[in-house]
């Protein structure tokens, strides 16, 4: 089987030599029957775990009715999803003097949501300049790639989209870069791929203020941080930052590909044909996402993420592990800065049945499903500590 896949593989993903055939909760199973504790939420998308029974039931039921039809017609699942998603955003981010987050462009991935965000910022302001942050990651399609700072991703594909600058997440740089010419400033509240760096609250509030002063739009990319991951439904809640546009993806569809751009009513709408996505807002993804939103709220998973995240951080810190320089993060989005490269650590963890992620060359990233069983977490943490103390 692996040879068959290798013969056609694009090469675009760094792949592990295992064949995953099944998953449930926070457990992955390979073709040889070996079980792995998933501390990666399968690249950060499985916030409610793999195959959550309520998400599975919603997918099964909707699949028997209508899988896909575009926004060129109305659909009950899409209407309810719009309403439930924007209600959740309104309830958590509160009212703003700049209007509520009520308009939604549905799509099929995080990068696509950011593409829509960049286009919307240019369209709604009539300006072209975009500001993004160093260490930021927003995806690999051309617009999203132009907002992504790391040269490693951009270099082979230059020129990227013109009009983007990248600045350090410090007030002086934002003050200089965000001007009356700026269409939008795009940020992650916790920079995930860039090494799990939490942006300070004062900086976030300063950036928001600078956007308001200049008329630039603040786009918050919550593709990785969103939906309970950081201990709140949306990471901007921690600082009270109130974005003009917010992008979502990863766990939004509970495993069914899905992304969304949500923005303030006052900004306007796209004219027909100016943007689009064949599978955006398809009823199957909307039904799955409705189940995800409901599970997150009913099972109080943000609170659980906050509690378990604190426990992991204090457990790792108090163990004084030889390989560890720093432990940081928010909720169940944790970065462990190592004194050496992370690749051999990931390999040892895999051998011991724990699946984790890197975030740059020396950071071990832990993003377990918010539903992970405490006994699985305990077992995984024992393994992590053993590997990091060896």
- Which positions touch ligand PLP (CB under 6 A)? 109-111, 114, 137-139, 188, 192-193, 221, 223-224, 249
Q: How far is the CB of 50 from ligand PLP (least distance, A)?
A: 17
Q: How far is the CB of 216 from ligand PLP (least distance, A)?
A: 20
Q: How far is the CB of 12 from ligand PLP (least distance, A)?
A: 11
Tokens for 221, please give them: 């990319």
Q: How far is the CB of 121 from ligand PLP (least distance, A)?
A: 16
- Residue with Cβ nearer ligand PLP (251 or 362): 251
Tokens for 322, please give them: 């030889």
Q: How far is the CB of 95 from ligand PLP (least distance, A)?
A: 26
Q: Identify the DSSP state of 25.
A: B
- Residue with Cβ nearer ligand PLP (120 or 324): 120
Which residue number is nearest to ligand PLP in terms of Cβ? 110
Evaluated on CA atoms 158, 244, 268, 292, the torsion sign reads positive
Residue 206 burial by Cβ neighbours in a 10 Å radius (0-12, 13-18, 19+): middle
- Residue with Cβ nearer ligand PLP (147 or 383): 147
Residue 48 and residue 38 in contact, taking contact as beta carbons nearer than 8 Å: no
Residue 216 and residue 185 in contact, taking contact as beta carbons nearer than 8 Å: yes
Q: If residue 116 lies in a helix (H) or strand (E), which one and from where to where?
A: helix 110-125
Q: How far is the CB of 35 from ligand PLP (least distance, A)?
A: 25
Within a 10 A sphere around the Cβ of 89, how many other Cβ atoms? 23
CA atoms within 13 A on the CB side of 101: 28
328 upstream amide cis, omega within 30 of 0: no
- Residue with Cβ nearer ligand PLP (360 or 381): 360
Phi, psi of 355 (to 5 degrees): -105, 115
Q: How far is the CB of 148 from ligand PLP (least distance, A)?
A: 8
Residue 119 and residue 143 in contact, taking contact as beta carbons nearer than 8 Å: yes
DSSP reduced 3-state for 224: coil
Please state, in angstroms and as integers, the Cα–Cα distance from residue 184 to each residue in 187, 207, 212, 259, 275, following that order: 10, 11, 11, 19, 18
Residue with tokens 């990319």: 221
Within a 10 A sphere around the Cβ of 341, how many other Cβ atoms? 12
Q: How far is the CB of 118 from ligand PLP (least distance, A)?
A: 12
- Residue with Cβ nearer ligand PLP (111 or 284): 111
Residue with tokens 């979502």: 248
């Amino acid at each position: 089987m692996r040879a068959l896949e290798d013969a056609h593989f694009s090469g675009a993903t760094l792949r592990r030599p295992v064949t995953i055939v099944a998953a449930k909760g926070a457990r992955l199973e390979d073709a040889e029957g070996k079980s792995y504790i998933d501390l990666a939420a399968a690249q950060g998308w499985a916030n409610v775990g793999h195959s959550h029974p309520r998400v599975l039931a919603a997918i099964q039921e909707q699949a028997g009715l209508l899988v896909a039809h575009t926004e060129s017609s109305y659909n009950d699942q899409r209407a309810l999803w719009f309403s439930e998603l924007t209600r959740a955003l309104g309830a958590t981010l509160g009212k703003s003097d700049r209007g509520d987050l009520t308009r939604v462009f549905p799509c099929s991935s995080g990068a696509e949501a950011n593409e829509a965000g960049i286009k919307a910022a240019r369209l709604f302001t009539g300006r072209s300049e975009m500001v993004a942050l160093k260490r930021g990651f927003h995806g690999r399609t051309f617009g999203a790639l132009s907002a992504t700072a790391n040269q490693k991703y951009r270099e082979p594909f230059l020129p990227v989209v013109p009009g983007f600058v990248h600045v350090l997440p410090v007030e002086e740089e934002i003050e200089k870069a965000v001007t009356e010419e700026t269409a939008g400033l795009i940020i992650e509240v916790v920079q995930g791929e860039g090494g799990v760096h939490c942006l300070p609250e004062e900086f976030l509030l300063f950036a928001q203020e600078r956007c308001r002063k200049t008329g630039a739009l603040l786009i918050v990319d919550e593709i990785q941080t969103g939906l309970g991951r950081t201990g709140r439904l949306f990471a901007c809640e921690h600082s009270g930052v109130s974005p003009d546009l917010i992008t979502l993806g990863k766990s939004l569809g509970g495993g069914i590909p899905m992304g969304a751009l949500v923005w303030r009513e006052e900004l306007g709408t796209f004219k027909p044909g100016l943007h689009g996505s064949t599978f955006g807002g398809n009823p199957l993804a909307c039904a799955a996402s409705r189940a995800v939103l409901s599970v997150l709220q009913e099972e109080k998973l943000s609170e659980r993420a906050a509690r378990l995240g604190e426990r992991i951080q204090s457990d790792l810190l108090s163990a004084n592990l030889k390989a560890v320089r720093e432990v940081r993060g928010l909720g169940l989005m944790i970065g462990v800065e190592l004194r050496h490269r992370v690749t051999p650590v990931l390999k040892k963890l895999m051998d011991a049945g724990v699946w984790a992620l890197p975030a740059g060359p020396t950071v071990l990233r832990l993003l377990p499903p918010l539903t992970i069983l405490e006994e699985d977490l305990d077992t995984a943490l024992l393994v992590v500590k053993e590997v990091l103390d060896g």
